[in-house]
Amino acid sequence: MAQYEEVKVHGYEEFCKAVSERKGKDIFAYFSGDKDDQGASWCPDCVKAEPVVRGEMAHLPEGSVFIYCQVGERPYWKDPNNEFKKTLKLTGVPTLLRYGTPQKLVEEQCFKADLVRMMFTED
């Protein structure tokens, strides 16, 4: 089983801090809508994608980092000027990306285990 570090963050500032503390590592980031007290996200696609992404995490590269980032409440996410959209150029949630590369899976692509596995296993 691959050894990786999982980090859970909430919001853009926490995400940036988590990345800067892990410079030089292979970082995968999964962006999801916020969850309520029952653990349910306002984003139905995020609810559907999370078990698929988690099911492929055994394929994460040795020594890599998986950052699970909640982007905020729906009204914040819908603001076109939020930092995730402006700075990270996210267009939708869920998004799974390999930080510092163009590799990105957005929305329905995150439902496909083979695509998720490919992202985790290809250099």
- Give backbone dihedrals phi and psi of 39, rounded to 5 degrees, phi first: 85, 15
- Give backbone dihedrals phi and psi of 90, rounded to 5 degrees, phi first: -75, 145
**Annotated catalytic residue, options 16, 43, 69, 110:** 43
Q: In 3D, which of 4, 123, 122 has the Cα closest to residue 54?
A: 4
Q: Catalytic: 43?
A: yes
Cβ pair 33, 77 in contact under 8 A: yes
Side-chain-facing half-sphere of 30: CA atoms under 13 Å: 27
**Annotated catalytic residue, options 16, 46, 69, 110:** 46
What is the widest separation between alpha-carbon atoms in the chain? Answer: 40
Q: Catalytic: 69?
A: no
Question: How far apart (Å, rounded) are the C-alpha atoms in residues 31 and 89?
Answer: 12
Catalytic site residues? Answer: 43, 46
